[in-house]
Amino acid sequence: MLKYQQIAEEIEKYIEENELQQGEKLPVLDTLMSQFDASKSTVTKSLDLLEKKGVVFQVRGSGIFVRRHKRKGYISLLSNQGFKKDLEESHLTSDVIELKVRKPTAEAARNLNLELADDVYYVKRVRYINGQTLCLEESFFNKSIVTYLNKEIVSESIFNYIREGLGLKIGFSDMYLHVGMLTAMEADYLGMEEGAPKLDVETVFHLTNGQPFDFSIVTYNYEQSQFFLQANSQLL
Amino acid sequence: MLKYQQIAEEIEKYIEENELQQGEKLPVLDTLMSQFDASKSTVTKSLDLLEKKGVVFQVRGSGIFVRRHKRKGYISLLSNQGFKKDLEESHLTSDVIELKVRKPTAEAARNLNLELADDVYYVKRVRYINGQTLCLEESFFNKSIVTYLNKEIVSESIFNYIREGLGLKIGFSDMYLHVGMLTAMEADYLGMEEGAPKLDVETVFHLTNGQPFDFSIVTYNYEQSQFFLQANSQLL
DNA sequence: CAGTGGTCTAGACCACCGC
DNA sequence: CGGTGGTCTAGACCACTGG
């Protein structure tokens, strides 16, 4: 593990263990440098990481402060694939409805840069949170990259398997959100009424080398759809 | 303007002007270093910025590549307050429905760390995109920070005024998303049916020093609600 | 194994905040 | 004006990719 990741982790752990609140001040850079026996750039890099994650914010001429958000029970839109993080106390399960090799839909082919004749793994799941339906998920995996899947893998964390089992490196993703009304089929899976509000999240996942390997469409039950997002304005 | 920002801007401009597509390779680091007469760290910092903005992705041992998303007409959830960026071709206007100094709601007070007796500027606007209703927006500004507002300011970009007119530095924001159904009042403003799907986005905006100065609730017309989001998985 | 990006250091100097 | 974070450099060395 890299030094700056290590430092970032320790600082984050320190914040959690001491239950520091929004606005509380962390030790100054000099202290952190000697404490972790690292150069200024390295410590700064750790802090930039934490800032990107929404854990701290830095104020020039003043100090480094803890950043917290107040609300519980929200799903972080960015702690990508595998909510896990913000819903630690919640119980998440999945029902696998379908798992097979097939040809992609036109939309899936377009998003994965595939031909209609190429093979994809198709996975359809319903996800539950504390026993209530959370979402319906359909995923298309480029079979030439994700070469094997089975029911066991698919009922657990597919992404962990892709990372550890297949040794692939997941890079970045593009997400598209739409609000609409549930179709009869979706309503059925989610145990809701047809025409109820829904949020569709379509995501294209890429490897670190830029290859798209997964296109997924997730339809959220609006009653469980509380999402959270942290932004930094210094992008311009 | 800082050197690394300058470099980032020029690289971005270069990509736009030459209409580089997803996956196209940029010059190698050495070239960029000499081209911009900058050290490796500085160029790297520029590229990290662009990576955060979703403009490029870097692959160790291989190169620096252009990142693009395919879909047009989506509102970027992160290019914070002031869509402007992704909707450049669209025509955006506002109707100011209400502008006054008042006491905050309990919710607004909580999110702005204010007392119920403190003063806030309250702004209510309907926003249009190409003549169609896009959203209904209610904002509460901490009056001890945003000391003055008038109809003219409020019908243009409030955030530009805060930055340039008041000289305040906007830092980060926390966003909370909910899906639901339009109330009669909301439907009326948006020209929709009561009970139609909606997306509510509540945002708390902070200055760079961490002080919250604006709490806003934006209710989107679901027919116009197409959002876009780019994520980087290397956060862990 | 050559090419290319990533990490880390030490140190100089700059820019901002708040007393 | 002292304290603190931010920028920038030069250079050593590491780690990954792809032919």
Could you identify the residue whose CA is nearest to the C1' atom of nucleotide C19?
A62
> Does B220 contact A179 at a Cβ distance shorter than 8 Å?
yes
User: What does the pLDDT average to over B56-62?
Assistant: 96
**pLDDT score, position A63:** 97
Range of the domain at A199: 75-228
CA atoms within 13 A on the CB side of B28: 4
In a domain, B93, yes or no: yes
User: What does the pLDDT average to over B125-134?
Assistant: 90
Give yes or no for a contact between B197 and A137, defined as CB atoms under 8 angstroms apart: no
Asked whether residue A171, judged by its CB, lies under 7 Å from any atom of the DNA or RNA strand D, the reply is no
DSSP state of B41: H
A109/chain B closest Cα distance in angstroms: 13
Which residue of chain A has the CA closest to B61?
Answer: A209
| Domain end residue (candidates: A43, A66, A89) | A66
Q: Are residues A50 and A82 in the same domain?
A: no
DSSP state of B227: E
Flag whether residue A183 sits within 8 Å of chain B, measured between CB atoms.
no
**pLDDT score, position A83:** 44
Per residue of chain A (236 residues), give pLDDT as tens.
Answer: 999 999 999 999 999 999 999 999 999 999 999 999 999 999 999 999 999 999 999 999 999 999 998 888 888 888 755 444 455 556 788 899 999 999 999 999 999 999 999 999 999 999 998 888 999 999 999 999 999 999 999 988 899 899 989 999 999 999 999 999 999 999 999 999 999 999 999 999 999 999 999 999 999 999 988 999 999 876 55
Q: Which of A229-233, B102-106, B194-198 has the lowest mean pLDDT?
A: A229-233
Q: Are residues B136 and B27 in the same domain?
A: no
Q: Are residues A106 and A134 in the same domain?
A: yes
Of the pLDDT bands very low, low, confident and very high (cuts 50, 70, 90), residue B138 is very high
Q: Are residues B133 and B158 in the same domain?
A: yes
Q: Is the pLDDT of residue B118 over 90?
A: yes
Q: Are residues B194 and B105 in the same domain?
A: yes
Q: Which of A156-160, B117-121, B136-140 has the lowest mean pLDDT?
A: A156-160
Q: Which residues pair with B25 in a beta bridge?
A: B65
- Nucleotide nearest the Cα atom of B33 (by C1'): D9
Rounded to whole angstroms, how far apart are CA atoms B231 and A175? Answer: 8
Surface-to-core class of residue B48, CB atoms within 10 Å of its CB (0-12 exposed, 13-18 middle, 19+ buried): middle
> Does B229 contact A80 at a Cβ distance shorter than 8 Å?
no
**pLDDT score, position A85:** 47
Flag whether residue A228 sits within 8 Å of chain B, measured between CB atoms.
yes
**pLDDT score, position B153:** 93
Q: Are residues A166 and A132 in the same domain?
A: yes
Q: Which two tokens stand for residue A17?
A: 């263990």
The total domain count for chain B is: 2
CATH of the domain at A22: 1.10.10.10
Question: Residues B26-34: contacts with CB within 8 Å, 24+ apart?
Answer: B26/B56, B26/B63, B26/B64, B26/B65, B26/B66, B27/B64, B28/B63, B28/B64, B29/B64, B32/B7
Measured between beta carbons, the chain A residues lying within 8 angstroms of B77 are: 77, 177, 229, 231
B114 CA → C19 C1’, Å: 26
B41 CA → C19 C1’, Å: 35
In a domain, B234, yes or no: no
